[in-house]
């Protein structure tokens, strides 16, 4: 009779552990400016917190392109510290605004939302710096161009 009670207690404890997330909210404060050397529309970055699964959802929205220039994919840079490094090879006023720790790329077929599993042992508040980007391909000239969003400072509470 003791064994079923232990099994039940283990199952209940495990279900509580997986259902809990150390974070209950996320906010983002923008800084810097984006750039898009191909189109006049800079990419934007939005954030959401999925507390049920303890995941951070970061969505990069970028102009899909036109006139022989197409969106190939989106990228996300995450770090713990903002910076300001000019990237003139990307275009006028293009600036890296995050000291990168993580750089992720997704082709357009994979969507533009990056899903990051949050560690269950992290203690709030946690602050991260982030910047989104878009990669375009132009069929005339066969060139690739990057566009960058403004930076964002995320605070997980």
Residues 130, 58 contacting (CB under 8 angstroms): yes
pLDDT for residue 39 is more than 80: yes
Q: Name the domain count of the chain.
A: 1
- Does the predicted TM-score (pTM) go above 0.85? no
12: in domain: no
1: in domain: no
In this structure, what CATH number is given to the domain that contains residue 70?
2.60.40
Per-residue pLDDT reduced to its tens digit, 22-34: 999 999 999 999 9
Q: Which residues contact 96 (CB under 8 A, 6 or more apart)?
A: 77, 83, 84, 85, 87, 131, 148
Tell me what the mean pLDDT of segment 132-149 comes to.
Answer: 95
Domain span at residue 70? Answer: 21-156
């Amino acid at each position: 009779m003791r064994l079923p009670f232990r099994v039940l207690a283990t199952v209940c404890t495990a279900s509580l552990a997986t259902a809990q997330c150390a974070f209950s909210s996320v906010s983002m404060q923008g800084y810097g400016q984006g750039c898009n050397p191909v189109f006049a529309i800079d990419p934007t970055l939005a954030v959401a917190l999925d507390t049920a699964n303890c995941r951070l959802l970061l969505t990069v929205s970028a102009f899909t392109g036109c006139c022989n220039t197409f969106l190939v994919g989106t990228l996300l840079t995450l770090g713990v510290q903002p910076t300001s490094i000019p990237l003139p090879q990307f275009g006028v006023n293009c600036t890296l605004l995050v000291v990168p720790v993580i750089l992720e790329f997704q082709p357009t077929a994979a969507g533009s939302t990056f899903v990051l599993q949050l560690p269950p042992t992290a203690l709030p508040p946690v602050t991260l710096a982030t910047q989104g980007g878009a990669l375009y391909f132009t069929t005339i000239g066969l060139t690739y161009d990057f566009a960058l969003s403004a930076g964002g400072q995320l605070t997980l509470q």
